[in-house]
Amino acid sequence: MVNSAFLLLSLLPAVCIAQTVDIPLTRRAKTLTLQNHFAAADRARARYGFPTTKSSVAGRRLQRRASSQGFAIINEEADSSFLGTLSIGTPAQTFNVVLDTGSSDLWTITQECDDCSGIGNAFDTTKSSSFKQTSQQAIEIDYGSGAVQGFTATDTVTMGPFTVQDQTFLVAERLSDGIIDGDVSGLIGLAFQGLAETQAVPFWQALINNGDLSSPEMSFFLERSTSDNDEPGGVFTLGGTNSSLFSGSIEFHDLASTTGGPQYWMIPLSAVTVQGSSVSIAGGNSLLSAIDTGTTAMGGPSADVAAIWAAVPGSSALTQGNQQTGYFQYPCSTNVKVTLSFGGQAWAIDSNDINLGQVEEGSSMCAGAIFDLSLGASTDANTPSWVIGDTFLKNTYTVFRQSPQAVGFAALGSGGSDTSSSGGGSGSSSGGSNSPSSTGASASTTPGLASQLTSATKTFATPSIPAHSTVTTTDSVPAGPTSSGAGMVEVSMGLLLSTLISALAMAL
């Protein structure tokens, strides 16, 4: 009987374990040019329904086509792409995909793709026993600088230890040149279902609905590059936060109310300072800001962006070539200091992230990373007027929370506290105050240029078992073909003790 009890207790970790799997990735050693940044700005304008520099309707908001919403296709050579690895099919086929909080669909290229030679792994639908095509009619996503065309299907999708059966995604059969490049095979959207072109429940929301995540959160630490060599680019945590990457508490801001429910991770901007002084910005709908890991720089309404650059001595609008429209230049010797507030603390942006580099070789003028998003077009209550991309997000620890719906920011560092992860609380929440309470302190001190590519390491958090307390020990976790890392085992003390007592009783 004693041996039976010992055997039972030895099996407890298999029942009570929750793992956190770290999958380190490396960034591709490529450097952005100003032309890449200008093209990226046009992609951002197109994805949010604004005219581009190639449009003939400057000053008027474009009609939003249903077939063009929700995709942020990022050229790996041209944008700071933060990549994750997932697998599709039975047996599993592995792909690198862009992690994008500004869209909601999952798509990957297929071996039948006519325009996909020389890029990432292609999905072979014939080798998956769980693959099911769900539409015969082709879906085309047109977003300004190109298009993706394909059909919808369902299959088993796995990311780290998490699996969703019958996940709907787009199988891409045609791509415009340059939409993706290198080892990238597609994109996973991390925004809401209302934005999904495929009308599918996004992968991350399916995990929450299935009770697979320990907390209804996902978090980003985006690390700026410090060299031209391949190197880790940060941490993506799915199912919670990583307290070793931020300090203090997380300042949460409720999502803006929109007709029909949320689509973007959208919160109102409340204040901007430049060189230590406040800049007047428009109110109302013009404050709505999408927090978007799929956009490299940062854009806003025409008048507000002009006001920001007017506060920088010696700055002027770039006028050489139509593609430069909406960008500004300033003396390279100037350290541009900008802070943003969303109703609480004022978060500083490192001046290195503002500087996109010289406008031309040998010039004393540099291009700035804050661009005119709207090009004079109007705004509405359901779509953002600002897009807050990696220029800002590299300076904060950023949390996207499903319940209650909010975006949170914390200072970079270690030893932080997320009071919302266990009980769905609001943490250090801001309900929409329009005055910042403090300034600075959140900008990273790591040097580096925004014109260098980064990618993201991912942390996958498996569901934890509710308990009054937990014991945490380390354990090794097997790495995938392109990943490695360490795991963390959490054993529920309440369940462990109750099972121990029962086992001993039976043994005696």
Which one from 22, 254, 292, 390 is the annotated catalytic residue?
A: 292
Residue 435: name the closest of 349, 347, 348, 346 by CA: 346
**∠ CA 82-20-17, rounded to 5°:** 160
372 beta partners? 300
Please, what sign has the CA dihedral across residues 244, 250, 253, 255? positive
Beta strands 162-175 and 106-109: pairing type? parallel
The Cα–Cα gap between 290 and 282 comes to 16
Dmax over CA atoms of the chain, in Å, equals 86
- Which 8-state DSSP code applies to residue 383? S
CA gap 308, 479 in Å, rounded? 46
Residues 298, 57, 100: CA angle, nearest 5 degrees: 30
Q: Can you say how many angstroms the Cα of residue 504 is from the centroid of all Cα atoms in its chain?
A: 49
Give DSSP secondary structure letters for 3-47: HHHHHHHHTHHHHHEEEEEEE-------B--HHHHHHHHHHHHHH
Question: 331: alpha, beta or left, given left = phi > 0 and alpha = psi -120 to 50?
Answer: beta
- β-strand pairing of 17-23 with 457-461: antiparallel
Q: Which two tokens stand for residue 164?
A: 């969703």
Is 292 one of the annotated active-site residues of the chain? yes
Residue 125: CA atoms inside 13 Å, Cβ hemisphere, count? 20
- Count CA atoms closer than 13 A to 402's CA, side-chain side: 21
> What is the number of residues in the chain?
508
Is 380 an active-site residue?
no
Which residue in 42, 79, 100, 372 is the catalytic one? 100
**Integer Cα distance of 393 and 432 in angstroms:** 20
Residue listed under structure tokens 């978090």: 219
In the sheet with 271-274, reading across from the earlier edge strand, the strands are 277-279, 271-274, 338-341, 346-349
Catalytic sites, residue numbers: 100, 292
